[in-house]
Chain A
Amino acid sequence: MKVNLKVWRQKNNKAQGALKDYAVDGVNPDMSFLEMIDVLNEQLISKNEEPVAFDHDCREGICGMCSMYINGRAHGPLHGTTTCQLYMRHFKDGETIYVEPWRSKAFPVVKDLTVDRSAFDRIIAAGGYVGVNTGQAQDANTIPVEKENAEKAMDAAACIGCGACVAACPNSSAMLFVSAKISHLALFPQGQPERKRRAINMVDQMDEEGFGNCTNIGACEAECPKEIKLTNIARMNRDYLTATLIEE
């Protein structure tokens, strides 16, 4: 099959970018979307043109590195998948496909489709952890955890930090990402001592990074490749409000 691409090309962070047209022929329906871009890049190199820069690593949907806004959707049209797990059979022969980088003030474009998501790291550094040094731990089975809570925590912890929530949100809000980590740790006994401090510090850092605000639209949940739930945002709101309004 053949596809017509409109790919965002931008030399670097300072340069102006624009959509550029490319036709890719001989696309196999069993190819992943990234493999199709590989084919495009080989074509470009053979024509002495610069290949498209894009982030990718594990190509099995877990590292969270791939990040393309495909045909108006974060990670493309398929629900609950990353770009690397999107296969060309989901496109029509001759289809025109828009490929853009994540768009957010907090995710500046590095080059072409590559963006800088270090804001997420800084949010985690602000409080997304349990403050336990190596060697301080007691025996793992000393503290039982309700299975239901462990499962909910795991649901939240499944976040891969790809930033699709920010990309999909009309406000480019990062609340799904932040709340997933706050929820994960809030649901464990181990996370309790820092629970309120964590909520405050992570939310403050999130605000500092320039993300938009959540208006409960739900696009993040709909586009999250790991299907993280909006419930987490409510839990974060609760923790944050408790910490700021009620605690001394």
Chain B
Amino acid sequence: MAELNSKIPDGPLGEKWNYYKEHAKLVNPSNKRKLEVIVVGTGLAGASAAATLAELGYRVKAFCFQDSPRRAHSIAAQGGINAAKNYKNDGDSVFRLFYDTVKGGDFRAREANVHRLAEVSVNIIDQCVAQGVPFAREYGGLLDNRSFGGAQVSRTFYARGQTGQQLLLGAYQALERQVGLGNVKMYSRHEMVELVVIDGKARGIIARDLVSGELEKHFGHAVLLCTGGYGNVFYLSTNAMGSNVTAAWKAHKKGAYFGNPCYTQIHPTCIPVTGEYQSKLTLMSESLRNDGRVWVPKSREDAKAIREGKKRAEDIKEEDRDYYLERKYPSFGNLCPRDIASRAAKEACDDGRGIVASGFGVFLDFGDAIKRLGIDVVKARYGELFPMYQNITNEDPLKTPMKIYPAVHYTMGGLWVDYELMTSIPGCYSLGEANFSDHGANRLGASALMQGLADGYFVIPYTVGNYLADEIFTKEIPTDHPAFVEAEKTARERMTGLLNTKGTKSAEQFHKELGKIMWEYCGMARTEEGLTKALGLLKDLRESFWKEVRVMGEFNEFNPELDKAGRVADFIELGELMVLDALKRNESCGGHFRVEYQDGGEAKRDDENYRYVAAWEYKGVGVEPVLHKEALNYENIKLQVRSYK
């Protein structure tokens, strides 16, 4: 198996990417026509990559499990997309965006990748505007920007609360254009269920046609996995119901290392869980914390009374309220970063002061803002969010405080990739949230969209060419090759195994159990004891899953239950890896908080021993994976402790 070589080009930080582009191998147009590229997933990364590669002349096959590529979950991103355009003349620059991203990631990201991201961020905005993405504009007709997630400069471009949707539709339209031109063959309602590796190189996939249920073999000179994050391992998250780790996990099993699986981002402002039936959590934009004040009652008695419905928020006097973020972090207050706000909410609730029936919820109060600004201003400012909240909870945030609680939102970890976005399997790439690369241990607001599009529009077209230039003599491998046959057999056996188990519990029930274990022991605060316990619980869960799962329906038909069961099976295995990774990382950084490693309640990083990327090599189900370390070297940034006090 390939050793960890991140292949970062030599030279000064600001020139690495240019140097790379100027020296990457090229494929001539007539050869491009002979090369096939498989793109799995059609979110921002996948759609932009598929469109761009097709424009260049490659033959592209794109796959998505949804009924249309336009449904990918990138569509749900609300806030915005960062770019170092400095249109506001407020001192932004590529270096500042780079610096903020590395710092925000708690110094666990690769410098060269992040700098490249900041460099191409400006091209993304140009490209999207040319496509007709309706970004917000000023009256002068030029693009508007806002400050987001506590950034000191206004570098966030946005399209109302639907930035992700508009960017995705831009990429989707570019993709459909290539479909119309015949350069991309689109496979909707198809799920990748195996990666095919021949002579150590990725050469294709096995995909299941979700409508007919049949397994199809697809050859490709390269395979791009753009399949998003794995937040649904927690069952409840802000991810879409279908978001899954299956494609990435299959690649992992075939030799792609998994990087930093324990880094998960918990978003502080989501609508709390109300019952066992709940299927997903809804995010309320971070912008609400600009005017809302977070609090819980000072006394447990008051909190209990609220939980039991004996008291209302309005009954708690000002002096009996604990505005804990303002108390703990006087300089940032309610605007402190996501990981910190989330953890503080958990602490308050663990202290018995939660204010929703389940015990897990805090108030986000607009009372002061309404007094200060007037009800109309507040209403106008959060025009879309308040009705959305009211629709879901049946409570009017203008009259009574919102109830919020943190929820899993994004996973920084993912398939390990080198500078070229290639995984440890040659020819297999990973883009967007599916890879581990740019956000370190914590992602800043408005950076996910930027990364997905950077990878797809501006990075992969160069790096995949560099690889394919050596593949021009590789003829299309017939899909009756033993590796294809074998991979198809593996997939078929796994699925028929699920169907034939005929147990008593639905995949959904197992998923819920998995989620509870992950949230309890590998959520916002992790301990060695809890993680060790979780490892045992997950092993039991995995074993009972394969004995007890009940999957209705047949193989050769449209069978969402079978799809779900396959995904849950992979999530359970991934869960074990996440817990192991969290257990082995004896420090607190970004989205990974180990209770043992703190400094007066604040995360305590251990740069000396853990300044590395943990890349895990798969060794078999239930066998401990092998840890490979990629050291992170900071040549342009001084490591420091993040402080928001």
Contact = CB atoms under 8 A, between A and B. Distances in A.
Do A and B touch directly, given a CB cutoff of 8 Å in the complex?
Answer: yes
B391 interface: yes
Interface stretch (A28-36, A213-221, A232-240): A28-36
B457 A134 contact: yes
B473 interface: no
A206 to B, nearest CB: 14
Interface in B39-77: 48, 51-52, 55, 66-73, 75-76
B240 A190 contact: no
Given A31-B277, A56-B241, A58-B73, A129 B550 contact: no
Contact of B169 (A131, A133, A157): A157
A154 to B, nearest CB: 4
A189 B177 CA distance: 19
B31 interface: no
Interface string A117-146: 110110011111111111111111101111
Contacts of B70: 64, 121, 124, 161
Contacts of A34: 279
A127 B162 CA distance: 23
Contacts of B172: 124
A61 B78 CA distance: 12
B125 A85 contact: no
A137 B85 CA distance: 15
Contacts of A145: 137, 141
B132 A184 contact: yes
Nearest to B142: A141
Given A51-B552, A57-B73, A45 B180 contact: no
Contacts of A30: 274-275, 393-394
Contacts of A191: 132
B134 interface: yes
Interface in B550-595: 550, 552-553, 557-561
Contact of B176 (A50, A65, A124, A153): A124
A130 B129 CA distance: 10
A46 to B, nearest CB: 8
A8 interface: no
Interface string B234-247: 00001011100000
B211 interface: yes
Nearest to A29: B394
Interface string A186-219: 0010110000000000000000000000000000
B160 A121 contact: no
A97 interface: no
A129 B552 contact: no
A116 B67 contact: yes
A24 to B, nearest CB: 11
A55 interface: yes
Contact of B159 (A85, A111, A117, A154): A154
Given A53-B558, A62-B76, A38 B508 contact: yes
Interface size for chain B: under 10, 10 to 19, 20 to 34, or 35 or more residues? Answer: 35 or more
Given A65-B66, A65-B67, A129 B174 contact: yes
A12 interface: yes
A118 B67 CA distance: 7
Interface string A46-73: 1011110101111111111100000000
B392 A185 contact: no
A129 to B, nearest CB: 4
A134 B55 contact: yes
B160 A190 contact: no
Contacts of B500: none
A134 B132 contact: no
A45 B506 contact: yes
A188 B166 CA distance: 14
A116 to B, nearest CB: 7
B279 A128 contact: no
A134 B506 CA distance: 45
B143 A141 contact: yes
B515 to A, nearest CB: 14
Interface string A80-96: 01000101010000000
Contacts of B553: 50
A1 to B, nearest CB: 13
7 contacts: A63-B73, A111-B557, A130-B131, A137-B127, A140-B143, A144-B137, A154-B134
